Structures are given as structure tokens and as C-alpha cells.
Amino acid sequence: MTKFSDLNLSPKVLKAVDEAGYESPTPIQAGAIPPALEGRDVLGIAQTGTGKTAGFVLPMITLLARGRARARMPRSLVLCPTRELAAQVAENFDTYAKHVRLTKALLIGGVSFREQDKLIDKGVDVLIATPGRLLDHFERGKLLLTGVQIMVVDEADRMLDMGFIPDIERIFSLTPFTRQTLFFSATMAPEIERITNTFLSNPERIEVARQATTGENIKQCVVMFKASRRDREASEKRKLLRALIDSEGDKCTNAIVFCNRKTDVDIVAKSLKKYGYDAAPIHGDLDQSQRTRTLDGFRGGTLRFLIASDVAARGLDVPSVSHVFNFDVPGHAEDYVHRIGRTGRAGRDGKAMMICIPRDEKNLADIERLVQKEIPRLENPLNSGNSPVQVPVQSESKAPEKEDKPSSERGPKPDRGPKPDRGPKPDRGPKPEPKPERSPEPTASSPARNKPSDDKPTENKSRNRGGRGQDRGGKKVVGMGDHLPGFIALSFDERRAI
């Protein structure tokens, strides 16, 4: 069996490793450390939880033990996809370099620029950063990358898959061509490997496990779930999650619950706390100080359930995680490998449970195709008969719908009793007769059709309100009828004479 003393590490590094309690290297460490110490480029592929971080930190410390950093010019650079993973690499560096006089700086978002600038100005041997914050310092003129001797890309596939390709290419262009490059990842898709061929020069490829394999010590299962109604899917799914947690009993000492969306992370965390579970959320939209407190509480055992997005799926090392619950089926099959890799670490047993709704069945098939095995199906605990899904009954306050029946089938109207006698109405006297309308008096110049006829008696007839367009004789009104002004009938000469 290979020991760390056989890997040509410096005595001070070996002393720190021994104090940390490690006796023999993992396969990825045993394969990557020797070529890295020789100065060769390394492409390391291994399933998550196998110690890849120590696989590049230990040779870096040994190589950098000789030499001194200059202001604003770090000697090595480690790129990480998330703040949590970058902070974890910094913790590993502190553990293994405590007997070596090397300095480091952690450049991540959510932290003051001023404090980071002070560290860079003093000169650092190891610079651990996320791509965005690193480029922010460079554009502000606070950082030069021309002195980088060793460059490490941790979780390389995730870095490239998350849209960091332009940033990665720019960072590589700012570093010397003679640098040593180390790539480490759990998965390496063919298109990602094609890009790494641009960055690495004749790398030593170490693949200690089949790509995208899961640990044999992790028990996996999936629950096929279909809601009783579409609008109740979210609440019934959260109820199923609580049932799965309760079914594990005392075996579930702590767990990480993964959701695809940040909004669901907050909702699930709030729901679990409502029902008495010790849970807290962690995702990219939270303040960095809050994310750090939450993660420290989970690592320290004061927090039982960590509800997380994929920000916690890559590289986070919490050795004692007993369970991983996938509240959502991940959209990318590779993310499933990283998620369940948070349990079963360092040789421990773990369990991964997943909830799959009908529209996620295609993603489930992609996962099974990637891991090259079928994930066992688990019976829905809500369908066991003890705790069935309760369908809420319609509220009694809602008025029933009226049936459309003919009047003959509706029955007689209810008798509401005699109307109250309000007494005789007061006598207001006879109604006044309507006044007859006055006819306009004809003028001397008016035509004969505007004068009353001599052979017909003139009668005062009131205008019939219902017969619109009718004159008093019942004939159809032409033009303005009796209301035609006399001057309109005058000729032009008569009008001038007026």
C-alpha cells in the first residue's frame, strides 16, 4: 500500500498530513501528486469525495516552499466555481501549510475589497479566487498574473458548464505560457475535454474511476410521485419530503436537501421549520456572512438540515452527512453525481433519496444512462394507508350551484304571508289636464300648406308621444312640419327686401 512518505513530499508537509490523521493517500492523490511534483500538467478525474483537493494542495505547498512572493504578483492561482468551495480550499491550505511560511489570499464576492487589497499588496504565494472577483481586482489595477507559476482549476467541468468559459479564457491569457496547469473534476464530458486540450500541454491523465460513477457505499432510491391535483403539487411534494425524513428515523442524523431553484430553497426551508425541523437555506442570493454562518452551523452539528441549491453540490466537504434528499431531479445528469457525493464520504455509508414527478422522468432517464444503472424505486410512504394524501373538502360556506330546472318542476313559491296594511293613500285631488300645444301662427308670406285648412275644423289635439314622426292629423311629417320657420320659405329677393 502506498504511503504519503513515498510521494516525495517535503518533510514539513508530511508532518502536517500526519497531524491531520491521514496515513495513506487516496487513488487520485497517489496518481496526481508525483507528476505534479515533476512540474507536468495534470488532468485528474475521480468521483467526488475522493480527496482531489489534497491532490493539488500538497504538491503546491512543496513546490512553493522555496521562493518569495512579490507585491500584487501571486505565485500560484486556484480557481473555484463557488465561494464555499474556495473557502474550503483555503481551509485545506491552512491545515497542510502550517509548518511552511507561505501566505495566501482568498478573493471571493460578498467581502470588502479593501481587506483583500491589503493582502494582495503585501504579496501572496497562493491566491484562491472565484473568476468574477479575480477579474474585478485585475480591472481595478490591483493585481498582476504574470508571476503565476502554478494554476489550478478545481471542479473544471462545473467552471466551464456554469458559463465561465470567457472568464477562464481571459484569465489564462493573463498568465505566463510556461505555467503548470492542474485540472481536477468529478466528470469530464467530451466537449469539456476538448476545451481543456487548449489549456493543458501534454497532461498526465489520472482517471481512478469511470466518469460520472457514484460511490458503492451510497444507497440510492427514487420515489415516483404524482400529485392529486396540479395546484396541490408543491404542498403535497413537501409533505412527501417530510414523510421520507420521518421514515428514516434516527438513522437520519443530518441531511442536505437539494432544490433546483433558489425560490424553492427558501420555501422548503421555511416549510420544514414550520413543522418543527431544524433547517436553514443556503444559495447564491444570500449574504456571504449568512452563508458562512449556516455552513459552519451544519458542519458543527448545530444545524440538522441544510436546504441548498447546487452551490453546495460541488466540493463541499462535510464528512458526517448521513443523507441527501433530492427534492427536485437535477436538470443536468452530472449534478446528480455531485449532489449525492455529499454523503458517504471518507469511506462512510450514505443514503440518497430523490422525488421524481412525471415531468422529470426524462431527466431521471438521463441520470440512469449516465451512471449506467437503474436507480431502485421506493414505495411512496404517503400511499401506505397510514398517512394518505388528504384532499381538502369543499367549504360549507360556499353556496351550492343552482340547478337549471323548468318552472313546472321547481314547485310552488313559498308563502311569505300577507303584505302589511299601510293604510289608505292620501287624496291628492284630480290630476291636472294636460295643456294643449299651441300651433305656430302663420305669417302672411307663409305658403298655404302652413295655414290651417278652411274646410276642416281646427282641433286642439295633443301630440301623441308614442307616435314619433306623426303630426296632429296622423300624416307623416315632412321636413320640420309645423315648426318650419316662415323665413325659410321666402325667396331670395323677398329676403333681401326684409
- Please give the full DSSP string across 373-440, using - where no structure is assigned: SPPPB---GGGSSSSPPPPPPPPTTSPPPPP---TTTS-PPPP--PPP---PPPP--PPPPPPPPPPP
Q: Which run of H or of E encompasses 303?
A: none
How many Å is the Cα radius of gyration of the chain? 43
In degrees rounded to 5, what are phi and psi of residue 180?
-100, 130
Angle, CA 22 vertex, CA 19 and CA 24 arms, to 5°: 140
Q: What span, in angstroms and rounded, lies between the C-alpha atoms of 125 and 137?
A: 17
Beta bridge partners of 242: none
Q: How far is CA 133 from CA 129, 142, 264, 310, 311, in A?
A: 7, 12, 27, 20, 17
Quote the CA–CA distance of 147 and 20 in Å, as a whole number: 31
Question: Which pLDDT value is given to residue 475?
Answer: 56
| pLDDT of 428 | 60
Q: Which residues, listed in sequence order, are joined to residue 350 by a DSSP beta bridge?
A: 218
Site of grid cell 470567457? 166
Query: What pLDDT score was predicted for residue 310?
Result: 80
Domains and CATH numbers, the chain: 4-207 (3.40.50.300), 218-383 (3.40.50.300)
22 is written with which cell numbers? 491521514
Residue 2's CB is within 10 A of a number of other CB atoms, namely: 15
Greatest alpha-carbon pair distance for the chain in Å reads: 143
Q: Are 248 and 409 in contact (CB under 8 A)?
A: no
Can you tell me the distance from the alpha carbon of 5 to that of 25, in angstroms, rounded to the nearest whole number?
Answer: 10
DSSP, res 338: H
pLDDT of residue 476: 57
Cα–Cα distances (Å) from 497 to 335, 445, 450, 485, 494, in that order, read 105, 13, 22, 17, 5
pTM of the model: 0.63
Distance CA 468, CA 22 (A): 109
Strands (DSSP E) contained in 208-299 are 218-224, 255-258, 279-282
What are the backbone dihedrals phi and psi of residue 280, each rounded to the nearest 5 degrees, phi first?
-150, 145
**Which amino acid appears at position 36 of this protein?**
A
Across the chain, how many H-helices and E-strands are there?
A: 15, 13
pLDDT at res. 144: 93
Q: What's the average pLDDT block by block, 10 residues per block, for the chain (498 residues)?
A: 86 93 89 94 80 92 87 93 88 93 91 90 94 93 94 82 81 93 79 78 83 76 94 95 95 94 94 96 86 89 92 69 95 86 81 96 93 92 56 38 42 54 56 55 47 45 48 54 64 70
Task: Let me know: does 102 contact 47? Beta carbons within 8 Å.
Answer: no
Say if CB 280 and CB 303 are below 8 A apart.
yes
Q: How far is residue 216 from each of residues 22, 118, 137, 213, 327, measured CA to CA in Å?
A: 22, 46, 43, 9, 22
The residues near 296 (Cβ < 8 Å, ≥ 6 apart) are none
* SS3 state of residue 350: strand
Cα–Cα dist 110/289, whole Å:
8
Whole-number pLDDT of residue 182: 93
φ/ψ of 17, rounded to 5, equals: -65, -40
* Distant-in-sequence, close-in-space partners of 142: CB < 8 Å, separation ≥ 6: 72, 117, 120, 121
Give the pLDDT confidence score for residue 50 in this predicted structure: 75
- The pLDDT score that the predictor gives to residue 386 is 43
What is the rounded (10 degree) CA torsion for 47, 49, 53, 55? -60
